[in-house]
Structure 1
């Protein structure tokens, strides 16, 4: 924005122009409350667009010519998405804020209220009908509005009521050197799509000319019909607000009512002034502060997402623009979701910054896990979307290249195992695990996100888990979804279910030291809760744990196949019992329990084929041997498992 003139533009609605005091006064106050300077005291050019005379007394002439043609490029799309998500964050922050001041409480009787509503409706019908049906009036309004707009520079436009229709109608006819940083429509009747046949929903949008569009509407606003516009115009971000109660039905449409909302001040201030840009980081200024280990899996996921961006290649700039927008939005949503809860937890780990996630994640997790501990966590990364909750297609070769780059940055040094071989084993094992379960329609990366999170203190557990939290206690708590953290929950679930308990230490989950009976109860409850997941989520978790033991086999790591077999067997017992009960009662849920049973049986059959159990073979031999003693060779004795239950804590 530096060096270019900035203009704040207000476009009136039905009934004609309101005074500058009545629209700028409320807006200026709401901007101050949002932490911004008053525009009238900040060198911002302020402009009120008037068009009512052109509508009611039109002059002859052609409509303004289109100045925008074709499609926006990839960079413009990426810039538009950044503006969109910036607006969404502001809406979340201010969604409960009431109007700041001064709107009178109108409490008329029913006849007076009906008369006021009728007057407003009549104005809308008369003026909107004329703009819709009178081509001469529409052309006259267009010439007038375009002629009043700045010829160049940058603008933030607030368009009220019918003014929102006028501005959308003119988006491709704006002065070519004028950039609209944010279009804000308030009280818009654009939801009445059939009334505006000349505005085609879903058409090409000038992303390079209009950087973001936010539509603010009150559900009690009669002009908006109580509806947003994003269902017709996906470029818009809808912001549902509530200015007042039903007895203020008419005032709810007033521009001053909308402009007195803090969210309007935040939206306008953000577009005019922006926020301070973080200083570019250098290798000499990498953060070295110790972060709570509960954040480590989140940081690992962010490190992987960054490598996907860096290894994208110059030929996929459009994809990278979308991916980077999704990456930053995912991190911001994660931080927005946990900050308040972390403040309420005195033992909470410090929250990493946005820059920690986006720029320094690999540095912060470097050497955190050994290769065996990394396996289930990376498998979880590959199954889940790297930018949850968004799901962007990633080519297998690109995935492999990013994975090698990630391993090179986060593994502990000293291993003879190359990053390339490690990555290949991970990817090949995951493909084998998908084949083992058979149903190719259950796409793992679409399923794991949000599937399983081990929650001890409600939403935000990964941020709030104190270092000494017992592993058994955590594993016995509720399995829940945690928005962007769902992928991380899947990572930890795979680590636990595949017996890689030591990986949990790196996730801020310490060994419990509980007695054997307590640990056994924890294991049983964990398996039962695993069985409670939907068939899709259970299938995804099964892919992850099977892939983990396959990697262990390929890379000659200690195998956890026998421990995994016991988890699956315990979960299967729980599922079969529940399925039988649903079947007996003729419950409609019986079909889902049957699907769970098939998933677990496939997994168990694969384990028995690929990793034969010495103990199971011994039982078969003992039962089928007709006579004589059963003896074991030294090799067979050595192959017997040394534990009789999965170790769910290290």
Structure 2
């Protein structure tokens, strides 16, 4: 495999300083350096200095009409890159402080006008001079092989040329890894008067694209490429606010990413050890979640939605496998996890009693298991309940009754409260689910709900790429009898809003009603958790209403919580879900009211008779 490097302007780097930097990074990471005869580094500086140079722009060779499958595969590989770099020290993924567009434009425009050392003036010329652009592209293509695989690395001006080149490459040439460093390709200044750069990304030709920048690099002005190019995935590194390709490629994490493709290793198939390792409860819950998601996918009627859901689920399953492989080196793994890592979804163990299973299934049926993707699955989760009841060793009718119970709660609560049914009730668990990449998620739970930490043991290690969000389901949430504490700490350290707890109680009411429908024991003390929350919500509303605007979003949010709680209480009374003494008292009150009403009616009739 050849390494192709497209340089920034300068002198074209005739001494291959970029390669020295890459080899330093490779050596520090424990890999062999790359020989100069294994690289292709065409120098095109002279094209900017030759008057009248011109050529026709090479034809577009990527003409696939439908590359939707290739795009899904591309996104899966991008997620793998994000996971890999997410664990690398010194690499920033998402959420770094970007310079706003206005300052970026000013900085980069100033560089174009006043700093000829940088490439931006030449980038603008490349973009606006059709003949020059054609000559450079043709020159580079003449240096590239017609077939095979390459790693394409491009710096500064070279990154703009490389992006432009992707859909003009020889049809038999495939880019195994595309790495851009210090790229100014998102600068608005260079796009003014030009509309040429890569309007359609060649997903079937490029395996992945990682763009690295130092936020202090004046050519990038701290701005990545993802906002301009759909295929790009941005990462930040610290090279001392410089723009040097040697420093970028000498960064160990960038070198490791290149080595991953340059020196591929065959992953060793995982298998359970000689000593039987039992699935932890959390690992079993993750498998249950995967099975439920697969059942949902089977019942999605819309073909396009089913395909997208299946692809999103595959990406989520990749996350689980990556976590399994990471943990496998230090501890033994259960046979089921070894099967999962080998590409087979293992059978579910029959370890859930019906009472526990009901709680799990209620939560799963109301959860988006391919978070952060949003796909309309219509009634598929309800139909999946029947399949899952059988997989867990129960009758299909059990799944039907659970589904019916959920529908009754949804109808009673959701009709007027505006609950977002069909999506994961993130706040319901008092849980923060935070996006950390195209696919990876970090999960954090308050101590009051799950004990010392979320998902302890087994697959508990939550790296920067995170666990699986929807798939790292929170075992036993709906089955716990404890109230969801309103003071539970979130990631920010602040209190959970009571409205979040009202959503949590919706799940618990649904679970307890399903249990009652199946003649199982249910938590009759749940009523007191709801009345306690009613008091907290009312106290918060009364205090904030004194000084807040009448239409305050926070007040409205709290009032939504009040409406949810009121309807939950009404539902519980209607279905006799409260404590026996409360139900008895409620019946006695109803009887007394009815008796009083009849007495009043009788008195009114007698009075009317006497007047007549």
- Normalised by the length of structure 1, the TM-score is 0.72
Is 2:429 aligned against 1:449? no
Instruction: State the alpha-carbon separation in 1 of the partners of residues 302 and 31 from structure 2.
Output: 39
Q: 2:453 aligns with which of 422, 439, 461?
A: 461
- Note the alpha carbon deviations across 1:507-553, whole angstroms, 9 max, x for none: xxxxxxxxxxxxxxxx5674775996447644542332232133224
Cα 1:116–1:602 shift into 2, 3 Å:
closer
Cα 1:132–1:8 shift into 2, 3 Å:
same
Partner residue, 1:515: none
How many residues are aligned here?
Answer: 542
Determine if contact 1:56/1:137 at 8 Å carries over to the other structure.
no
Q: 1:567 aligns with which of 496, 504, 529?
A: 529
Partner residue, 1:428: 404
Instruction: State the alpha-carbon separation in 2 of the partners of residues 26 and 39 from structure 1.
Output: 11
Partner residue, 1:326: 315
- Note the alpha carbon deviations across 1:552-582, whole angstroms, 9 max, x for none: 243333343x232222122222222333233
> Residue 391 of structure 1 aligns to a residue in which SS?
coil
Cα 1:315–1:239 shift into 2, 3 Å:
same
Determine if contact 1:349/1:464 at 8 Å carries over to the other structure.
no
Q: 1:603 aligns with which of 568, 575, 585?
A: 568
Partner residue, 1:266: 256
Instruction: State the alpha-carbon separation in 1 of the partners of residues 233 and 131 from structure 2.
Output: 32
Higher mean C-alpha deviation, range 45-54 or range 194-203: 194-203
Partner residue, 1:213: 209
Q: 1:388 aligns with which of 352, 371, 383?
A: 371
Is 2:361 aligned against 1:378? yes
Determine if contact 1:78/1:321 at 8 Å carries over to the other structure.
no
Instruction: State the alpha-carbon separation in 2 of the partners of residues 123 and 612 from structure 1.
Output: 72
Shift in Å, 1:485: 4.8
Instruction: State the alpha-carbon separation in 1 of the partners of residues 315 and 499 from structure 2.
Output: 24
Alignment gaps of 5+ in structure 2: 93-109, 432-444, 459-465, 593-612
Determine if contact 1:74/1:318 at 8 Å carries over to the other structure.
no
Higher mean C-alpha deviation, range 19-28 or range 586-595: 586-595
Determine if contact 2:113/2:121 at 8 Å carries over to the other structure.
no
> Residue 68 of structure 1 aligns to a residue in which SS?
coil
Determine if contact 2:367/2:424 at 8 Å carries over to the other structure.
yes
Q: 1:615 aligns with which of 558, 575, 581?
A: 581
Shift in Å, 1:96: 1.4
Partner residue, 1:475: none
Listed as ranges, the matches of 1:157-556 within 5 Å are: 157-196=152-191, 198-199=194-195, 203-244=199-240, 249=241, 252-279=242-269, 288-308=276-296, 318-319=307-308, 322-331=311-320, 355=338, 363=346, 366-397=349-380, 399-400=381-382, 402-409=384-391, 411-412=392-393, 417-418=394-395, 420-437=396-413, 438-439=415-416, 441-449=418-426, 451-453=429-431, 455-456=446-447, 461-464=453-456, 484-485=468-469, 492-496=476-480, 499=481, 523=482, 526=485, 533-534=496-497, 537-538=500-501, 540-556=503-519
Instruction: State the alpha-carbon separation in 2 of the partners of residues 368 and 240 from structure 1.
Output: 45
Shift in Å, 1:307: 4.5
Shift in Å, 1:598: 1.5
Cα 1:76–1:117 shift into 2, 3 Å:
closer
Instruction: State the alpha-carbon separation in 1 of the partners of residues 365 and 292 from structure 2.
Output: 9
Partner residue, 1:56: 49
Shift in Å, 1:448: 2.0
- Note the alpha carbon deviations across 1:6-28, whole angstroms, 9 max, x for none: 21111101213214541112212
Listed as ranges, the matches of 1:8-47 within 5 Å are: 8-19=3-14, 21-40=16-35, 45-47=38-40
Cα 1:612–1:191 shift into 2, 3 Å:
closer
- Note the alpha carbon deviations across 1:364-400, whole angstroms, 9 max, x for none: 8512211111111111112222133433332424x35
- Normalised by the length of structure 2, the TM-score is 0.76
Higher share in helix: 1
Alignment gaps of 5+ in structure 1: 1-5, 99-114, 467-481, 500-522, 627-650
Cα 1:546–1:149 shift into 2, 3 Å:
same
Instruction: State the alpha-carbon separation in 2 of the partners of residues 141 and 459 from structure 1.
Output: 62
Cα 1:121–1:90 shift into 2, 3 Å:
farther
- Note the alpha carbon deviations across 1:164-191, whole angstroms, 9 max, x for none: 1111112111101111112111111112
Instruction: State the alpha-carbon separation in 1 of the partners of residues 86 and 131 from structure 2.
Output: 42
> Residue 461 of structure 1 aligns to a residue in which SS?
coil
Instruction: State the alpha-carbon separation in 2 of the partners of residues 291 and 408 from structure 1.
Output: 21
Cα root mean square deviation, aligned: 4.1
Cα 1:350–1:118 shift into 2, 3 Å:
farther
- Note the alpha carbon deviations across 1:25-74, whole angstroms, 9 max, x for none: 22123234345443339xx9321122222333263431111111244423
Shift in Å, 1:355: 5.0
Partner residue, 2:602: none
> Residue 443 of structure 1 aligns to a residue in which SS?
coil
